[in-house]
Amino acid sequence: MNSVILSKTYIEPPFCEKEILRYAGCRGEREEISVLLKECIDEVKDKLAYKVCYRELSIKTVGDTCDFEVFSVHSEKLARNLKGCEKVILFAATVGVEIDRLIGKYGRLSPTKALLFQAIGAERIEALCDAFCADIKKEYNTGLEPRFSPGYGDLPLSAQKNIFAVLDPERRIGLTLNSSLLMSPSKSVTAFVGLGSTEKTSSNKCSLCEKTDCTLRGV
């Protein structure tokens, strides 16, 4: 097991307006929304921080128990996701606090812009995670299992405590966890990524989620 915690800082990934509108729940083309979105992107562009810290861990699964040596969790869905893997990358990623400030600012001034900034934040953290996973895939020269985060399926949010203890993201990338297990900055992700030769990653990011009533499905 590699006990070294590594960090990466990324340049700003290209914005995907289509994906932002999907997160905002917008269907069809509306010129006024498109204009507002461009204004929001111009305001936030070059103001976010794209940071990741991560660590390689060994993994053994027995039933619904995932043993990472430094801690273990019980999750049938995570065990299924990591089946056949001997190593995982555990990571924490954030795009920083500026997006939270803009969401708060426009929550008072323009609810529509606040919604768009929420969607931009969701698209930005996904773009960062995608860039990081692409790096890991290239570095390890292997397929990756879909990333799996606390709160997905039956993996409890309480797993965040172990993740934060192992990665120390507060010191490394400025990411904190409160007593309610909520992260700050809010547009942040922690996740396990299994390293394996059989890649199951789907282009549909909703394919792993069992929440069938989500408004993002089919958007």
**DSSP structure class, residue 30:** -
* Percent of the chain topping pLDDT 70: 88
Write down the pLDDT at residue 27: 78
Write down the pLDDT at residue 26: 87
User: What's the chain's average pLDDT?
Assistant: 90
Which of 72-86, 115-129, 139-153, 194-208 has the weakest average pLDDT? Answer: 194-208
Range 84-94 burial, b when 16+ CB lie within 10 A, else e: ebebbbbbbbb
The string of pLDDT tens digits covering residues 85-104 is: 999 999 999 999 999 999 99
CATH at residue 89: 3.40.109.40
Judge whether 115 lies within some domain. Answer: yes
pTM over 0.85: yes
Judge whether 139 lies within some domain. Answer: yes
Domain count within the chain: 1
Judge whether 202 lies within some domain. Answer: no
Q: For residues 15-24, give the mean pLDDT.
A: 96
CA dist 164 to 97, 183, 190, Å?
Answer: 18, 10, 9
Judge whether 204 lies within some domain. Answer: no
Judge whether 207 lies within some domain. Answer: no
| Beta bridge partners of residue 195, listed in sequence order | 87, 144
Judge whether 208 lies within some domain. Answer: no
Judge whether 64 lies within some domain. Answer: yes
Write down the pLDDT at residue 214: 53
Confidence label for 30 from pLDDT (cuts 50, 70 and 90) = confident
Judge whether 217 lies within some domain. Answer: no
* Domain that residue 117 falls in: 6-196
pLDDT at 55 over 90: yes
The string of pLDDT tens digits covering residues 158-214 is: 999 999 999 999 999 999 999 999 999 999 999 999 998 554 444 445 555 555 445
Which of 2-6, 32-36, 50-54, 73-77 has the weakest average pLDDT? Answer: 2-6
Write down the pLDDT at residue 2: 63
DSSP for 148-208, written as a single string: B-TTSTT--TTHHHHHHHHH-HHHHH--EE-TTS-EESSSEEEEEEEEESS----S-TTTT
